[in-house]
Structure 1
Amino acid sequence: MYSGEKVYGIILAGGSAERFGGPLPKQFLKLAGKMVIEHTIDIFEKHPLIDEIYIVVNPNYVYLVEDLLKRSNYKKVSKILRGGKTRQESTKIGVFAIPEKDGFVLIHDAVRPFVSHQIIDQVIEKLSSYEAVDVAISSSDTIIRKNDNNEIVEIPDRDELMLGQTPQGFHISVLKKAYRLFEQEPVKATDDCKLVLAYSLGKIGIVSGERFNIKITYPEDMYFADKIFQVRSKNESDLSGDIGKLRDKIIVVFGASRGIGYEILKMAENFGARVYGFSRKNNVDISKPDEVREALEKVYHIEGKINYIVNTAAILKMGTLEVRDYDSIISEIMVNYFGSISIIKESLNFLKKSKGMLLLFTSSSYTRGRSLYSVYSSSKAAIVNLVQSIAEEWKIYDCKINAINPSRTNTEMRRENFGYENPSTLLSPKKVAEISLKTLLSNMTGQVIDVRREDF
């Protein structure tokens, strides 16, 4: 069990552009609005158990990291170190810069921007029982061993093989000792666990990695990484907020007259929040910015603040694009897409003051368009893109925005469009409301949070 040792994160960014073939190393290329290394630093910066971050960078590109730190609000990055010619040299530079004799250190590739907090948690936890910890996934492919003539000489049993990832975790004293021994008796190694193994410095535990935790190495990896950012989502296991903390918070819900919006309103009230609901029933049409602004100003005038804003309002119409008339198409787009834009624009001034969060809703149809529902599914895909981009724009204000992605839910809108369905096959709107309120209490931003039936 983790007992409070100081934890350092060393991010290795010493790579050159040689294999990638571009003008800049891959860690400094833009991905989903930020440099690859920036996504990686964000993860370690936000992890509660990481105390300090060292960045080991190719000397030719130190200025890029310095510029990044000047425009960011990182509090844990304490050193920028000039890396060596090899990975081992860079790791050695990083670990010997740590003043403590012991504690924990995690070594991570700057070009793995999808590592999860769960993996970091498990690595730190396992270091209480092991001298070193590796992250690995099972191999879905057969591994072969070849000779210098490019001939197969062995096909090992795949069940005994795994593919290594990072971060790798170590007791600081163990990794420092490994590098002192490496100076005296070098061994061929592609990572640091190999050194611990080669010099018999202790047991190495294994933490299960994740398929998304890819290493960006070749140009095509940037394409895959961009797609991961588009479709990657969180789930309720990533949320731990106590809904009781909503007491006395001021919440505005658009689309509150029925369905998920109504359940969010009632549940938040039951937990002591002061909630104001708006919909067309009380003459607030979210496709009309003036009406959205007036509603928010009314609440602000009464309460003096707004902590959270939620928009569940949506229109769902069936029909091929060929047969649908333009008026119905425009109406659906104006509510589903432009309505969210109007709420974003009108919310910002209020959320700036409270450092609050805006919550929008997408749909499981956002990942692939649905025939007969082309306008609805495409507008919900647009919401995801909108949330991801606005999260970056709002970062300077410390405001957050996320999207809830519920599976088929037992609401009035669904029943109106699909008729009777067995309720046991549908998600409860109360469940969606619960996850939505927990999301409001989280530190997430720019995320899609999946809500699924527990037995699916």
Structure 2
Amino acid sequence: MGLDSKHLTLVVPAAGSGSRLGEDIPKPYLTIAGKTILEHTLLKFRDINQLREIVISTSDQYLDQTREIADAVFNTQSVKVIRGGDERQNSVMNALHSASGSTDFVAIHDAVRPFVKKTQIENCLVKLDSEDVDGVVLAVPAKDTIKEIGSDNLIERTPDRSKVWLAQTPQIFKKEVLMKAYQNAAESGVKGTDDSSLVERIGGRVLVVEGDGDNFKITFPLDLRLANIMLSGR
């Protein structure tokens, strides 16, 4: 069965706040160039051939707005908007339980990474389908030297920078492996810093696919200013 016949579900956790940006409105719902950040992000996935389903988890007060945004972007794909959890991991778990049983691959993408390129998404899908791996993660090589410190802020170790990559999204996995990883995390009380860490924990093989620095996550005010420049052309 070739890649064209595989079904992809896109999971987008969108329940985050705008506190680190100093905004009252949650980050995905801030408007840039006439569209919310969430809409800019979703548009990057609209023309992915394998995409059959989108599951977006958000807070109660944004369920209706999220449905309107998603319906404006997607025409033929199934859209589900669900209530998110207290933490991102809970939101993803809720979304996984809502995903179609016919799904082969699940892509998890941050709602506030609106600059991912279609070619990068497609490259991840090709690698996941053709390589002997359980998942793929878009990432970039670390530019700076990394320091590992202890609780007293003293440096304990300097990892080899050539082996250090900065994980981005999307992170795309075979559905059955991702479900096992999340179930294991729930049973053991583990909180992962990303989805890949949970798959790695159960012995899953995850491949890094090189992305680029444009695919940044809008987290701090400087990120928002840069996003405004890139999306508004000013």
Which amino acid is the alignment partner of residue 141 of structure 2?
A: S
Matches within 5 A, 1:193-232: 193-200=196-203, 202-229=204-231
Separation in structure 1 between the aligned mates of residue 206 and residue 110 of structure 2, nearest angstrom? 19
Q: Show the counterpart of 2:5.
A: 4
1:98 Cα deviation from its structure 2 partner = 1.3
Q: Show the counterpart of 1:148.
A: 151
SS at match of 1:51: strand
Which amino acid is the alignment partner of residue 127 of structure 1?
A: L
1:101 Cα deviation from its structure 2 partner = 5.8
Which amino acid is the alignment partner of residue 210 of structure 1?
A: D
Q: Show the counterpart of 2:193.
A: 190
SS at match of 2:227: helix
Tell me, yes or no, if the aligned pair for 2:109 and 2:171 is still in contact at 8 Å: yes
SS at match of 2:69: helix
Q: Show the counterpart of 2:136.
A: 133
1:77 Cα deviation from its structure 2 partner = 4.8
Matches within 5 A, 1:103-118: 103-118=104-119
Separation in structure 2 between the aligned mates of residue 102 and residue 46 of structure 1, nearest angstrom? 18
1:21 Cα deviation from its structure 2 partner = 2.0
SS at match of 1:109: coil
1:96 Cα deviation from its structure 2 partner = 1.4
Q: Show the counterpart of 1:66.
A: 67
CA 1:104/1:73 → structure 2, altered by over 3 Å: closer, same or farther? closer
Q: Show the counterpart of 2:166.
A: 163
SS at match of 2:225: helix
1:398-425 Cα deviation digits (max 9, x unpaired):
xxxxxxxxxxxxxxxxxxxxxxxxxxxx
Matches within 5 A, 1:322-361: none
Task: Give the count of matched residue pairs.
Answer: 230
1:175-207 Cα deviation digits (max 9, x unpaired):
11111111221223111110111111x311111
Tell me, yes or no, if the aligned pair for 2:13 and 2:56 is still in contact at 8 Å: yes
1:89-139 Cα deviation digits (max 9, x unpaired):
011111111131650110000100011111110111111122111111001
CA 1:116/1:21 → structure 2, altered by over 3 Å: closer, same or farther? same
1:211 Cα deviation from its structure 2 partner = 1.1
Tell me, yes or no, if the aligned pair for 1:16 and 1:58 is still in contact at 8 Å: no
Separation in structure 2 between the aligned mates of residue 73 and residue 104 of structure 1, nearest angstrom? 21
Which amino acid is the alignment partner of residue 208 of structure 1?
A: E
Matches within 5 A, 1:52-451: 52-69=53-70, 72=72, 74-75=74-75, 76-100=77-101, 102-128=103-129, 129=131, 130-200=133-203, 202-229=204-231
SS at match of 2:20: coil
Question: Which structure shows the bigger proportion of residues in strand conformation?
Answer: 2
Calculate the TM-score normalised by the size of structure 1.
0.48
Separation in structure 1 between the aligned mates of residue 209 and residue 172 of structure 2, nearest angstrom? 10
CA 1:23/1:104 → structure 2, altered by over 3 Å: closer, same or farther? same
Q: Does 1:38 align with 2:19?
A: no
Separation in structure 2 between the aligned mates of residue 166 and residue 73 of structure 1, nearest angstrom? 20
Which amino acid is the alignment partner of residue 173 of structure 1?
A: E
Question: Which structure shows the bigger proportion of residues in helix conformation?
Answer: 1
SS at match of 2:9: strand
Separation in structure 1 between the aligned mates of residue 127 and residue 219 of structure 2, nearest angstrom? 28
Moved more, 97-106 or 190-199: 97-106
1:32 Cα deviation from its structure 2 partner = 2.1
1:5 Cα deviation from its structure 2 partner = 1.1
SS at match of 1:46: coil
1:74 Cα deviation from its structure 2 partner = 2.3
Separation in structure 2 between the aligned mates of residue 161 and residue 228 of structure 1, nearest angstrom? 28
Gaps of 5+ in 2: none
Separation in structure 2 between the aligned mates of residue 101 and residue 180 of structure 1, nearest angstrom? 19
Tell me, yes or no, if the aligned pair for 2:103 and 2:175 is still in contact at 8 Å: yes
Tell me, yes or no, if the aligned pair for 1:55 and 1:77 is still in contact at 8 Å: no
- Structure with higher Rg: it is 1
Separation in structure 1 between the aligned mates of residue 208 and residue 73 of structure 2, nearest angstrom? 33
CA 1:49/1:160 → structure 2, altered by over 3 Å: closer, same or farther? same
Calculate the TM-score normalised by the size of structure 2.
0.91
Which runs of structure 1 show a deviation greater than 6 angstroms over 4 or more consecutive aligned residues? Answer: none
1:144-176 Cα deviation digits (max 9, x unpaired):
111112222211111110000000001111111
Tell me, yes or no, if the aligned pair for 1:83 and 1:89 is still in contact at 8 Å: yes
Q: Show the counterpart of 2:20.
A: 19
CA 1:183/1:63 → structure 2, altered by over 3 Å: closer, same or farther? same
Tell me, yes or no, if the aligned pair for 1:101 and 1:172 is still in contact at 8 Å: no
Separation in structure 2 between the aligned mates of residue 51 and residue 101 of structure 1, nearest angstrom? 10
